[in-house]
Amino acid sequence: MAGFDDCSSDQLTSFGREMRNHFLFDKDYVNLNHGSFGTYPVPIRSRMHYFQDLAEAAPDRFIRYEYPRRLDESRQAMAAYLNVPVETVVFLPNATTGINTVLRSLKFEKGDKIVYFSTIYGACEKTIEYIAETTPAEGVKVEYTYPISDDDMVERFKKVIRHEKDAGNRVRVAIFDTMVSLPGVRMPFEHLTEVCRKEGLLSLVDGAHGAGHLPLDLGKLRPDFFVSNCHKWLFVPRGCAIFYVPVHNQELIRSSLPTSHGFEPYPVPGKQKINNPLPPSDKSKFIEQFEFVGTIDNTPYLCIPD
């Protein structure tokens, strides 16, 4: 494949120390913490450089015309991997951006609650605090400590929901992980998603450590929102994350973060439509919003099929 270097071959490498030869680690560095930032094999770096070279050879042509086509190929690859329609997946720089995109898009009213677990990723908990500062919503934490059984965790979740409903509040959305970052423990996210569906609240699954790490079938899981990093356990260059929103929920995502050329303001009589300098597209407004979100290096997204 064009752009790959000599490290690419059909010969299998034995699991263990020999695999270091495929990565860029310093000889004195032992990578005990892949989960925080991830890394990627040498051939994938070459693939990323290949796309970067294409962009620099003809920036305007590549970004306006070639990049969207390549991005569609990556979306198709991830849609097949997650078992969902291609029109439901877009890319983001990281999972935290996905959590922010959902919470900042939802319209909250007095009495609305955001339920989350005590092992939530710190930046996501701070996002809930920000939402509580700027909207009528409030966060409600499900407290627990390990060791705990999956059934006990689910029951605590149900108890919090019942308590809020009995108090006359509405649980608008619940956030939970596929795999907790600290400690690295799998959560019963399938059962929690089912509870959300039965109780009539939105499920926002933080799968930061999901893709490539756990078996994922979103077609079966049917979450309301799902985000997962690809630069961790799929070994894609950082930052790269997949954002899944089923078609019936896409109207809830008013804007990307930051707002892009794909955003369409509500029409105002007599107000001129804002120009979009990008080529016309027949894709959905959801896809178009996330296709080009400002000028940054999105070549990691294009490495997904490899």
Query: pLDDT tens digit string along 115-172?
Result: 999 999 999 999 999 999 999 999 999 999 999 999 999 999 999 999 999 999 999 9
pLDDT less than 50: residues of the chain: 1-8
Given CA atoms 283, 284, 286, 288 in this order, what sign does their dihedral have? positive
| Neighbouring C-beta atoms of residue 266, cutoff 10 Å | 6
Residue ranges of the alpha helices (H) in 215-255? 218-221
On whether the CB atoms of residues 237 and 44 are closer than 8 A, the answer is yes
| Neighbouring C-beta atoms of residue 159, cutoff 10 Å | 11
Amino acid occupying residue 32: L
Residue 170's H or E segment, with its range, is strand 170-177
On whether the CB atoms of residues 115 and 140 are closer than 8 A, the answer is yes
Structure tokens at 182: 């600290």
On whether the CB atoms of residues 62 and 54 are closer than 8 A, the answer is yes
Whole-prediction pTM value?
Answer: 0.93
Q: Which of 241, 202, 196 is nearest to 225 (CA)?
A: 202
Give the model confidence (pLDDT) of 142-151 as tens digits.
999 999 999 9
